[in-house]
Amino acid sequence: MHHPTPEFPAHLEALYRQFPFDRSLAQDPLSCVRPLASDPAAAEVAGIFAATLAIGNVTAIRGAFADLGRRVDQDFAALGEPRGGRRYRSALRTFRHRWIRGDQLAFLAGQVGRLRHEHGSLGELFRSGLEEGGFAHGLDRLARGLRGNGTNRGPRGYRVLFPSPLDGAHSPCKRETLYVRWMSRTGFPDLGVWTGVPSADLRIPLDLHVHWIAYHLGLTHRRSRNWATVEEVTAALRQVDPVDPIKYDFVLCHTGISGDCPKERDMRVCGPCVVRPDCLLWRPRRGAS
């Protein structure tokens, strides 16, 4: 069983401090939402759409979000009003991104408008579940709210876009945890437009890159991406920084996306890497002399 070295906290902190955030932000869906940081309502609405569209490579995601913006005249606050779904239904009819369709986004707009009317914001809805039962309950409350109110289940394929960790823990709920990170963390590059959600309570948005790197650094021994893995990786990062453990998410994710981690032994790339001593690929093999 692989474990990081005792020096791992210092190694990870060094990786974080030297990371080129500006380079990688341009290759992240968050860059679509950051221009709205000064308008919490617009940022909250734009953020849930950007996170929902965060499937595939970032070029396609940014293109899909730009297409959405054009169709709604860049008025994301209006998209999240109670009648936003009806107002933009026609404009969204021909929208496509991977398996996400315009009718699903129009229904999502209706749900966002309803929830914001009932709770004041999506942040307040999430926070009510967080305070009642912890992060998983907050995410469950947000997911169930976005799915519908029980009488209208939405268009075909819509509900699966918003899994919950309480559904059976088969999904890591990556896009929803990513959205909550964007909205809650005040540290760069996140927006911090929600209040009352401590950074210490956040969970890691577990995509393929983060999972691969976390496994090879010994932050998890689980080979499947599910909610148990999310909790295990988060707990390991909390040992490094108990106040803001998820600050490392952006760094781990983009270390994989950028090719800074080639995911194989390559001294040309791995040689300068400060976490190489902790990496399973570079640890001495059992029985080696």
| 1 shares its domain with 133 | no
| 83 shares its domain with 14 | no
pLDDT digits (tens, 9 = 90+) for 47-89: 999 999 999 999 999 999 999 999 999 999 999 999 988 999 9
| 43 shares its domain with 98 | yes
Has residue 84 been placed in a domain? yes
Give the number of other CB atoms < 10 A from CB of residue 34. 17
Evaluate if residue 285 carries a pLDDT over 70: no
| 1 shares its domain with 135 | no
pLDDT digits (tens, 9 = 90+) for 116-158: 999 999 999 999 999 999 999 999 999 999 998 666 779 999 9
| 57 shares its domain with 176 | yes
| 177 shares its domain with 88 | yes
Question: Closest Cα partner for 116 from 88, 142, 151?
Answer: 142
Instruction: In whole angstroms, give the CA distance from residue 250 to residue 265.
Output: 23
Give the type of residue at 207: D
The pLDDT, as a whole number, for residue 289 is: 41
The pLDDT, as a whole number, for residue 286 is: 57
| 7 shares its domain with 107 | no
Evaluate if residue 269 carries a pLDDT over 50: yes
pLDDT digits (tens, 9 = 90+) for 163-214: 999 998 689 999 999 999 999 999 999 999 999 999 999 999 999 999 999 9
| 171 shares its domain with 208 | no
Has residue 289 been placed in a domain? no
Instruction: In whole angstroms, give the CA distance from residue 26 to residue 158.
Output: 29
pTM for the model = 0.95
The pLDDT, as a whole number, for residue 155 is: 94
Domains of the chain: total: 2
| 18 shares its domain with 48 | no
Give the number of other CB atoms < 10 A from CB of residue 262. 13
Has residue 180 been placed in a domain? yes
Instruction: In whole angstroms, give the CA distance from residue 140 to residue 144.
Output: 6
Has residue 128 been placed in a domain? yes
Last residue of a domain, one of 141, 161, 195: 195
pLDDT digits (tens, 9 = 90+) for 235-250: 999 999 999 999 999 9
| 117 shares its domain with 221 | no
The pLDDT, as a whole number, for residue 143 is: 97
Has residue 53 been placed in a domain? yes
Has residue 249 been placed in a domain? yes
| 72 shares its domain with 18 | no
Domain enclosing residue 131, as ranges:
29-195
Helices of type H across the chain: 8-17, 21-25, 30-33, 40-52, 58-71, 76-79, 84-87, 89-92, 102-119, 122-133, 135-147, 174-184, 208-216, 227-240, 249-257, 267-270
The pLDDT, as a whole number, for residue 200 is: 97
Instruction: In whole angstroms, give the CA distance from residue 175 to residue 164.
Output: 11
The pLDDT, as a whole number, for residue 260 is: 92
